[in-house]
Amino acid sequence: MPRGKKDSITIADIAKRANVSTTTISRYLNGKYEYMSEKSREKIAGIIKETGYRPNKMARGLKMQQSKIIGFVVADIANPFSSILAKGISDACRQHGYSMTLANTDEDPHRERSAIRSMMDQQVDGIIVHQSGENEAFFRELAREGAAVIFAERPLGNPPILDAFRTQDDAAIRQMLLCMKEKGYERVGYFTAPLRHFDTRIRRSQAYHTYSREFFGQEPLEYVIDLKQSDLLKAQLQDFLKQPGRLALLTSNGVATLQVLKALKSLGVQYPRDVGVGSFDDWDWMELADITAIHQPSYELGCACVERLMERIQRPGLAPALQELPCTLTIRNSL
């Protein structure tokens, strides 16, 4: 079978081939054979073998006896946001008598699918995912199977196909730009990593575009940066600094902030003398650098994901919900 083909096989497909209900297939996968004939069992087993469907796949591991283990699949553990999120998840799990197992995917969709399958095969009770953004069909299958999966920060679908938690990015960007306006800045540039398919990056960019026009009456000055190309970033900053009026810049996250500050230093540009600086993300080192920053409740986000997961484990029929946590603005001397 071609690579990736078995990923698309669902319980509904098996049921259709076997000419039985999806309930019958679910019972078979969970070892409940009392309501089916030997012939039906053999037929289902043959179809599963033929299609390459994984018997332990998807929700099966979540419907059996509780393991008291929660899985956390993270896109990039090196990102401080992910580490803080993981601590929140781990601490909340411990309070509920659970332990946490973690898998890092490095934003690789294949590794993401593999990690989730592996956790389900190990019969974890639920999984929290900081997703890569490239496995929509896979997650829709999980949703159809009734899997106990929560998205942390990167939801999918409108309405959401699975439970999701994120921060109130739009309100936070608005508050930051309004602060810059009140401090006398006349134009604001936005420096972001590639938007690609990332819901969070897209929403922050859209918020910047909206409030840049509203508060400054300017066309957005958005710069998509490559963190691996420092010379390109320097050129983008130099281009922005040619703009007229009193200038400030806003970065899309803490990783971008660090790279922008390095580039400004190498160019001999000082803040706030030459340009104001604001950051989305307020990590510990930003206090030392005196950066005005949006603090997103990453730790609390992890705790909230666990609390919802506990509800879903006890009440599997809950409708998926999207919940947002508020951010706060910490004003320092970079503006």
- CATH number, domain of 104, equals 3.40.50.2300
User: Quick check: 57 and 270 in contact, CB under 8 A?
Assistant: no
Tens digits of per-residue pLDDT, 88-100? 999 999 999 999 9
Question: Tokens 């400004």 correspond to what residue?
Answer: 264
181 in the same domain as 145: no
Within 10 A of 196 (CB to CB), how many other CB atoms are there? 12
Contact status, residue 131 vs residue 289, Cβ threshold 8 Å: no
- 179, 281: one domain: yes
Instruction: Mark whether 198 and 210 lie in a shared domain.
Output: yes
Q: Are 169 and 327 in contact (CB under 8 A)?
A: yes
For residues 157 and 177, membership in a common domain is answered with no
Average pLDDT, stretch 7-27? 75
Q: What is the mean pLDDT of residues 222-244?
A: 93
**Within-domain flag for 202:** yes
Band of residue 135 on the pLDDT scale cut at 50, 70, 90: confident
Q: Give me the domain span that covers residue 27.
A: 6-51
156 lies in a domain?
Answer: yes
Over 90: is that where the pLDDT of 327 sits? Answer: yes
Model pTM score? 0.77
244 inside domain: yes
Q: Residue 38's pLDDT band (boundaries 50, 70, 90)?
A: confident
Give the separation between CA 252 and CA 224, rounded to whole angstroms. 10
Binned at pLDDT 50, 70 and 90, residue 60 comes out as: very low
Position 61 scores a pLDDT of 44
Does residue 331 fall inside a structural domain?
no
Give how far the C-alpha of residue 274 lies from the chain's centroid of Cα atoms, to the nearest Å: 35
Same domain (yes/no): 195, 269: yes
Q: What is the 3-state secondary structure (H, E, C) of 101-148?
A: EEEECCCCHHHHHHHHHHHHHCCCCEEEECCCCCCHHHHHHHHHHCCC
pLDDT digits (tens, 9 = 90+) for 268-305: 999 999 999 999 999 999 999 999 999 999 999 999 99
Number of domains into which the chain is organized: 3
The arithmetic mean of pLDDT across residues 111-135, rounded, is 88
The pLDDT > 70 percentage for the chain reads 91
Same domain for 234 and 293, yes or no, is yes
Q: Are residues 206 and 250 in the same domain?
A: yes
Query: Residue 307: inside a domain, yes or no?
Result: yes
CA-angle at 300, arms to 295 and 302, nearest 5°:
115
175 and 281 assigned to the same domain: yes
Do 208 and 279 have their domain in common? Answer: yes
Task: For residues 189 and 220, state if they share a domain.
Answer: yes
Alpha helices in 19-54 (DSSP H): 22-29, 38-51
Of the candidates 102, 103, 87, 96, which has an alpha carbon nearest to the alpha carbon of residue 68?
Answer: 96
Residue 210 vs residues 33, 151, 155, 182, 297: alpha-carbon distances, Å: 58, 26, 21, 17, 24
Are residues 173 and 158 located together in one domain of the fold?
Answer: no
Domain CATH for 39:
1.10.260
Q: Per-residue confidence at 67, pLDDT binned at 50, 70, 90?
A: confident
| Spatial separation of the C-alpha atoms in residues 273 and 283, rounded to whole Å | 23
